[in-house]
Amino acid sequence: MTRVKTATRHLFGALFIAAGANHFITPDFYVSIMPPYLPLHLPLVYLSGIAELALGGLLMWRRYSNNAAWGLLALLIAVFPANVHMALHAELYPQFSPVALWLRLPLQAGLIAWAYWYTRD
């Protein structure tokens, strides 16, 4: 099980590194999906990108993986309300299928559970 957990931890970290980098490659996309109740959309997009890059990288180091997993868990919980907002207001995001927006919610819960797994030894 240790090898599986190590391999999937690296995969999970790589996913967040890629997602974090994407915040800098296509920031306009992320700004467009920000709920209106949040201020400073572009700075928040960059901040979340930095967090994803850093935490994804740290997750790959066994020494820092526990703390990085807690950070990713907090980040995933923090962005969950924005995903709920998108699902509830699908008409604001015509580029996405309403079904896809609703399916993101259990997917997000799965990512939260996945991050939590790495907080356990």
- Could you read off the pLDDT of 16-60 as tens digits, one per residue? 999 999 999 999 999 999 999 999 999 999 999 999 999 999 999
Instruction: Give 119's DSSP letter.
Output: T
**What is the pLDDT averaged over residues 66-93?**
96
29 vs 26: CA distance, rounded Å: 6
Rounded distance between C-alpha atoms, residue 38 and residue 32, angstroms: 12
Overall number of domains in the chain:
1
Which residue segment(s) compose the domain that 86 sits in?
Answer: 2-117
Residue 99 φ then ψ, to 5°: -65, -45
Mean pLDDT of 3-27: 97
Residue 121: predicted pLDDT? 74
Question: What is the pTM for the complete model shown?
Answer: 0.91
